[in-house]
């Protein structure tokens, strides 16, 4: 249950209701402590994490199959290196080099071959000049 839900259930918005504001805040704090103690996440935390980090994680897992250097091209995502288990410097790729990039940061005529695409995250190989 989120803090907002607890506040709605326990108060009329002015600190009055079946539960006072102090009780609601105590319940919310206890829920957060319990969640952190067992390493659990709220469903919204998991969903937000998946929406934001999922494509980067899957691009990195895809990139593991390529035993070649890769770079971060106009896209700073340190987690890519973590999931890929290899260093990934932030710089433009050399011809023939692999890169992770954001679709909205690449020109439409960028000289790349797209190897992986998911929700705006690209794993590309720069074409030779």
How does pLDDT run across 28-67, given as a tens digit for each residue? Answer: 666 666 666 555 555 555 555 666 688 899 999 999 999 8
DSSP H or E run through 38:
helix 21-38
Total domains, the chain: 2
Instruction: Name the burial class of residue 93, with classes exposed (0-12), middle (13-18) and buried (19+) by CB atoms within 10 angstroms of its CB.
Output: buried
Average pLDDT score, the chain? 78
Residue 89 sits in the same domain as residue 30: no
Residue 109 sits in the same domain as residue 90: yes
User: Is the per-residue pLDDT at 13 higher than 50?
Assistant: no
The range of the structural domain enclosing residue 11 comes to: 3-38
CA dihedral 48, 23, 12, 16 (to 10 degrees): -160
How does pLDDT run across 64-118, given as a tens digit for each residue? Answer: 999 899 999 999 989 999 989 999 999 999 999 999 999 999 998 999 999 999 9
């Amino acid at each position: 249950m989120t803090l907002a839900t607890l506040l709605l259930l326990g108060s009329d918005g002015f600190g009055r209701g079946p539960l006072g504001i102090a009780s609601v805040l105590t319940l919310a704090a206890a829920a957060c402590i319990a969640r952190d103690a067992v390493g659990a996440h709220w469903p919204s935390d998991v969903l937000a994490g998946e929406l934001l980090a999922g494509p980067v994680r899957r691009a990195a897992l895809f990139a593991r199959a390529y035993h070649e250097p890769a770079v971060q091209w106009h896209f700073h995502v340190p987690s890519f290196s973590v999931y890929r288990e290899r260093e990934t410097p932030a710089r433009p790729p050399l011809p023939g080099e692999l890169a992770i990039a954001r679709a909205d940061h690449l020109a439409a005529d960028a000289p790349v071959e797209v190897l992986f695409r998911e929700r705006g995250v690209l794993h590309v190989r720069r074409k030779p000049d």
